[in-house]
Amino acid sequence: MRMLTPTRSFALLGLCLTLGLIVSLWASPVLAQPAGKPAAKPAGVQEVIWDDLLPEKWVGEIKAQMAAVGKLGFLVDGSEAADAAMQRLRKKWDSAPIETKYINQGIKIAGYAVTLDANKKSISEFLLVPYFGACIHLPPPPANQIILVKLAKPVTKLASMDTVWVEGVLRDARVDTGLAVTGYTLDAARTYPYVEQKR
């Protein structure tokens, strides 16, 4: 279940250059809202997309950084210079600034789940990411494109890369989960499947 449309956000993020450096293509597929009537949402909950979580000023800065990374194609994969360049980029992405517009507000957003709980039978928190494979098959996106979802009620049927809607209160919280660094948490959240509607 992958209803995807191109937007400015990071998808194919994490693709490596010939040497394993991360590259962003900026025309990445992320989850789109299903066609037809949108799912009902409680009063006070705003539906947002991943682009809404990117500070406008930072978007320009990161494009310049990606252009610079693209010029490093002569480096040898695994070399000291390549590893140093990748570490510098990872540090910038892990400290990526957040968009404060929706902080402490109720939001609804769609994305891909990346489970964290050791007990897979009862999931109480997971990462929400904008593109398929992030943090598992591909490197993590910038922190401002990762949400740590803390469920009000644990769920039993959730696997990594399931596509879901989540609703909750968005908070500013930089958390190193060991798998990725988040820029946001979603508190007291609820989640339900992202179902593609037929046109």
User: pLDDT of 138-169, one tens digit each?
Assistant: 789 999 999 999 999 999 889 989 999 999 99
Task: Specify whether the CB–CB gap between 193 and 159 falls below 8 A.
Answer: no
For the chain, the average pLDDT equals: 76
**Greater pLDDT, 11 or 190:** 190
Query: What global pTM score does this model have?
Result: 0.74
Query: Whole-angstrom Cα distance, residue 130 to residue 53?
Result: 11
Both structure tokens of 13 = 């993020």
Share of the chain above pLDDT 70, in %: 68
77 — pLDDT class (breaks 50, 70, 90): low
Would you give the DSSP letter of residue 116? -
The residue among 88 and 19 whose pLDDT is bigger is 88
Q: Where are the domains of the chain?
A: 4-193
Average pLDDT (29-36) is: 41
Q: What's the whole-number mean pLDDT along residues 9-35?
A: 35
Q: What are phi and psi of 148, to 5 degrees?
A: -85, 115
Are 13 and 134 in contact, with CB atoms under 8 Å apart? yes
pLDDT band at 176 (very low <50, low <70, confident <90, very high): very high
| 14 has pLDDT over 50 | no
- Of 150, 114, 151, nearest to 129 by C-alpha is 114
Distance CA 127, CA 186 (A): 10
Contacts of 52 (CB under 8 A, 6+ apart): 99, 101, 102
What architecture does CATH give domain 4-193? Answer: Beta Barrel (2.40)
List pLDDT tens digits, range 89-121.
Answer: 788 889 999 999 999 999 999 999 999 876 677
Q: Is the pLDDT of residue 187 over 60?
A: yes
